[in-house]
Amino acid sequence: MRPAVALVALLTAVSAGCEEKTAPAPPTSATASAVETATPPPKPTLPPTLAVDTSGALVAGTRVSLDGSGAPERLKTELAQHREFIEGKEVRAAADRPVKPAYVATLVDALGALGATRVLVRTSTRAEFPAELGFISLDKARSAPPCSVVATITDDRGSAVWSLQGGVAGKRGKGMAGPDLTLTGETLTTHAKKCTQSQVLFVGGAPGVEWGLVYDLAASTKTLPKAYFSEIAILAESPVPGHPVSLGR
């Protein structure tokens, strides 16, 4: 073989060898599976079990703290996974008596923000009162007339009743086993008659008052023979008897 031809053949062989060494290896099955899109978690098929206790909220078994400024958003994020069971529907939840009223208000308002029409809250109460009561979010109640009735459990475990716009509060003292709700009912009836254009009731409690007492107050209105409230909203912040109540209009 002539030298020139031999040199060309040698260079061609070296080039082919380099190309073989630098060619990328085909991806293994492990590598291919790693780049595949992760399978999303299965969508819920049943309405979530909702509850409020002294540690916060439980949403389908997941604990959500209700303390701190970010609580409403944390709760909405967790609830959003169950939107199809919330939007346009009545939603059920349970609340223990010792919890803070603000905890229950936060849950009701979060569900309302996701489209719930009403939240049916179950709480143990007196035998003569309903054990389940419907509440609407504060946002849905913002259009209530200024004369709408406000009722609260005071720090001495009595009660006070007045209107959103403020005015003299009708106060009742503590009974044998908590607020005297029979006398409170009379005061509620008197104030309801002064505002026939509204059937919305706002309930709350002084700092340190447990949810159970606020629930009893709201539930007692269902037994009033001469007053009727079609909707009840919970005030997360403790109202001051006789003072105007801001709904953040």
**pTM for the model:** 0.82
Q: What is the CA radius of gyration of the chain?
A: 31
CB 211 within 8 A of CB 99: yes
Task: Specify if 183 maps to a domain.
Answer: yes
Amino acid identity, position 5? V
Please report whether residue 45 resides in a domain: no
**What per-residue confidence (pLDDT) applies to 46?**
87
Q: How many domains are contained in the chain?
A: 1
Task: From 144, 161, 150, select the one nearest 201 (Cα to Cα).
Answer: 150
What pLDDT is attached to residue 57? 98
**Per-residue pLDDT tens digits of the chain, which is 249 residues long:** 454 444 344 344 444 454 444 555 555 555 445 445 566 666 777 899 999 999 999 999 999 999 988 999 999 999 999 999 999 999 999 999 999 999 999 999 999 999 999 999 999 999 999 999 999 999 999 999 999 999 999 999 999 999 999 999 999 999 877 899 999 999 999 999 999 999 999 999 999 999 999 999 999 999 999 999 999 999 999 999 999 999 976
Question: Is position 107 within any domain?
Answer: yes
- Determine, yes or no, domain membership for 249: no
93 in a structural domain: yes
List, edge to edge, every strand of the sheet that includes 56-59: 62-64, 56-59, 50-53, 90-95, 118-122, 132-135
Residue 81 lies in a domain: yes
145 lies in some domain: yes
Q: Does any domain span residue 160? A: yes
Q: Which domain holds residue 146?
A: 50-234
- Only one residue has tokens 């380099």, namely 18
